[in-house]
Structure 1
Amino acid sequence: MDRVTHVIDPDGEVIIVLQNPNAPFAELSEALTSDKFTYLLPGPSDEIQNFGWCAVHNLSEPAQPPFEEPALEWPVTEEPAAEPAEPTAEPVEETVAEPAEPTKPTAESAEEPVAEPVAEPTAEPVEETVAESAEEPVAEPAEPAKPAAESAEEPVEEEPAELGLTKQPEENCFRIQVSAKHLILASSVFKKILTGGWKESITYLQKGSVEITADGWDLNALLIMLRIIHCQSYQIPGKLTLEMLAKVAVLADYYDCREAIGFLANTWINNLDESIPMTYGSDLMLWVWVSWFFQLPAQFKQATSTVMSLSSNWIDSMGLPIPNKVIGSMNSHRQGAIASVVNRLDKARDGLLSGTRGCSFECRSIMYGALTLQMQSNALLAPIPIAPYPNLNYRKLVQEVLSFTPPQWYGLKARQAHKCPHSCFESLIDTLNDTIEGLGLDNLVRE
Structure 2
Amino acid sequence: MALSLILTLVLVVLCAFFSMSEISMMAINRYRLMHRARNGDKSARRVLALIKRPDRLLGVILIGNTLVSNIAASLTTQMTMNTFANSSIAALIATTILTVAMLIIGEVMPKTWAALRPEQVAPPCSRILTPLLACCFPLVVMVNGISNYLLRLCGLRQLKNEEPAMSSEELRAIVSDAGRLMPARNHSMLLSIIDLDKSTVDDIMVPRHEIDGIDLDWDDVTLLAALRRTQHTRLPVYRSTINNVVGILHIRNVPEIINQPAQLSAAIVAAICAPYFIPESTPLHTQLLNFRQHGRRLGVVVDEYGEVTGLISLEDILEEIVGDFTAHVQPSQAGIFEEESGCYRIAGSTLLRDINRHLGWQLPLNGPRTLNGLLLEHLENLPQGPITMRIDNYQFEVSALQHNAVVSARCWKLDPADVRYQRSSHAHR
TM-score bin (small chain)? under 0.3
The higher-RCO structure (CA 8 Å, 6+ apart) is 1
**Higher strand proportion, which one?**
2
